[in-house]
Amino acid sequence: MLHELLLVLNCHSSSIFIETPTTTTLSPTFPNVHPSERALLNSLAHLAHLHRRTRDAIKSSISSHPSTIVRAVASAIDGQLKLFQQRVVDCEKAILSRDVELVGGYDIVPLAKLATWFSGWDRILAYVEELATFISLPERTGVEVLNRLKGDTRTGFPELRQLSNKFLVVAEQVWLKFLMTWVLYGKVSNLGSRDLFVKEDEKQDLEERYAADEKLIPWFLSKDTADSVLFIGFALVRTSSHLTNSGSEILHAHSALLRAIEPSIQPSTIDSTIAAVRASISNRLLRRLLPSRTIISAIGFLRKFMLLGDGKFMVALMDECEKFKKRRLRGMGNGVIRQGEVSAVLKRAMVAMRAGLDDDDEIEEDEGVDASDADIEMPSGARAVNLEEHLSLEVLNIDPSSTSFSDFLIGHPASLTLRPPFPLSLFLTTSDIVIYGSLFSFLASIVQTLRRLQALYEQRRVRTHVPLAVWGLIAHATFFWREVWGWMQYDVINPLYDEFINIEEQSDPETVRLRHTKYLRRLNRAFFGHMPRAQELLRSIHVKCEILSGRVVHWSEEDGVEDIEALGRFKKECSEFVGELESAGMVANGVGTEEEEWEAMMDMGLTDRLLLRLDWFSGAGHDAVDDEE
């Protein structure tokens, strides 16, 4: 019987031990076994079951799993099984040599001593069997294994904590090799397609070939650090022809920095190391390719177009968008908005802008912004790049949310975007452009609503059949949006932009990048990016103002007081929006780092200016207006 047991423990078949889907047990027909002995034999036979299950689970993982990390961890599990197999062999040797640790008097091997020999392995084999089953799924990614192993290290059993740490080190070593291949050479290893978050699509143009898969970002890597990793490798890819003799020097310097990252990986260590590598890239490469004056010119272009600082462009684009919506309403479309139609809207707006418009439009142009030239000077004698050629109005295949403003421009989600050319693509990230796009949609929706209300109000002497109370509502709405627009351009965007461009011309690109990140963060915060309820209210006010405008255009003598009251509900939302600003403006502590907390306090001052502008809608001021009506 002991011989059969040792065979089963080494994954061999046996005539007296029965394998089931959940365990292995001694055959119930095996005679002359005391119940307590049968229980000990069954507990030992269960080790054989776990051993077999683990071996079967890792067999295919080691040879063919698409994740290199999974294959490495499976090999480490196989190594642990070999230790168990060696324990079985040592047991057999001890019995044959009559070792007193196992063999008692009259050459009897007590089952209790045998159970003691394998004590502790039940917990270990149960853990590796569960882990082997977890990683064996073909769709399992290396990051899922990394995150699982990190959680396993928090166990209260010392032997399992030590074992999971061992497996975690193996997994992290593989992941670090893929990271270094990208960070040092700008190459995505084919072996790391299921493990590294950097993805390469060779069908795309070079500027759009590399992207980050957020599902493959491990627990120890922050979003900002992941963006920096993507930037570093992409910078090496785009600047490889410019490295010449400095390539080996940069490789040596970065290798020395990356050696600081060792398993078990700590977030603070990898954050600081990647930040140091990025700063090195900026100082050694981008300073030559992307001087600060080029960056500032590009940000100025974005200020003009995507933040609507150029009044001529703003008016031309709004006019073309209104024409587009009218054509759609007249049935000059098949119901499906095509990208070509939307692109033509931007082209016509550019033509109209260049032709020149009257400067006495209702919405004042920012005189501090010169829109006559979109040419960006490039270094090293390269020809200037006209960023207008890289600007596009794109249809978004999304459903607008309660805090989105992208569907107001043309009646369907769309946004202005920029595809920055090299080397600007090394500075302006995809996330930067997304933020600019959302800010554009926000600003454009305000401009559209304000222009529509102003145009209607000018017709009040012609549309005499419309009650005075309705014109009062339009005056309320016009005042509200005019003050919000003026605050955004003159109290927020202009000061923050002036603060950004007030930078020394010799500053390195990394310093400029950090300032630009701060600039965008403050813009997004100032435009209620941290206040979803305020954004919901503004969207609702937008919708009600559109309804109000449409009703006034088609007003008839049959429309009565009930309609006026229904249209006037937006005034309550304006007051609620002001109340939201008053309550949110009180909170500045605990918003992040000390610098971010200081920024929040500064932004409270910006919010206070808006509250002063909208004093008409707060408290007694609002009630007084109602009394006058």
Residue 416's H or E segment, with its range, is: strand 414-418
Percent of the chain with pLDDT over 90: 38
Q: Are the CB atoms for 303 and 440 separated by under 8 Å? A: no
Instruction: Tell the residue number behind the tokens 């077999």, with chain if given.
Output: 52
Query: What pLDDT score was predicted for residue 442?
Result: 95
Task: Please report which confidence band the pLDDT of residue 130 belongs to, taking 50, 70 and 90 as the band edges.
Answer: very high
C-alpha dihedral sign at 614, 616, 618, 622: negative
Most confident of 14-23, 175-184, 328-337, 607-616: 175-184
Q: Whole-angstrom Cα distance, residue 304 to residue 301?
A: 5
Q: Measuring CA to CA, how many Å separate 260 from each of 172, 265, 326?
A: 14, 10, 61
Q: Worst-scoring range by mean pLDDT, 36-50, 164-178, 317-331, 359-373?
A: 359-373
Domains of the chain: 1-140 (no CATH), 157-289 (no CATH), 293-331+338-353+386-617 (1.20.120.1900)
- Residue 139 CA to chain centroid, in angstroms? 22
How many helical (H) and strand (E) elements, i.e. helices and strands, does the chain have? 23, 8
CB neighbour burial string for 401-420, b if at least 16 within 10 angstroms, e if fewer: eebbbbbbbbebbbbbbbbb
Structure confidence by residue, pLDDT tens digits, 71-102: 999 999 999 999 999 999 989 888 888 878 78
> Could you tell me the end-to-end alpha-carbon distance of the chain, in angstroms, rounded to an integer?
101
C-alpha dihedral sign at 601, 607, 608, 609: positive
Greater model confidence, 207 or 49 = 49
Query: What pLDDT score was predicted for residue 332?
Result: 61
**Amino acid identity, residue 252?**
H
Q: In this structure, what token pair is assigned to residue 310?
A: 């150029």
Which residues, at least 6 apart from 114, have a Cβ–Cβ distance to it below 8 Å?
2, 40, 44, 91, 102
Query: How many residues comprise the chain?
Result: 629
The whole-number average pLDDT for the span 1-28 is 79
Query: Would you call 489 exposed, middle or buried from its count of C-beta atoms within 10 A (0-12, 13-18, 19+)?
Result: buried
Query: What pLDDT score was predicted for residue 367?
Result: 41
Query: What pLDDT score was predicted for residue 377?
Result: 62
Q: Are the CB atoms for 175 and 196 separated by under 8 Å? A: yes
Judged against a pLDDT cut of 60, whether residue 368 lies above it is answered with no
The whole-number average pLDDT for the span 215-225 is 92
Judged against a pLDDT cut of 70, whether residue 383 lies above it is answered with no
Beta bridge partners of 395: 414
> Would you tell me how many other CB atoms lie within 10 Å of the CB of residue 49?
23
Judged against a pLDDT cut of 80, whether residue 584 lies above it is answered with no
- Collapsing DSSP to helix, strand or coil, 391 comes out as strand
The whole-number average pLDDT for the span 25-43 is 79
Q: Whole-angstrom Cα distance, residue 365 to residue 106?
A: 106
**What are the percentages of helix, strand and coil residues in the chain, rounded to 5?**
65, 5, 30
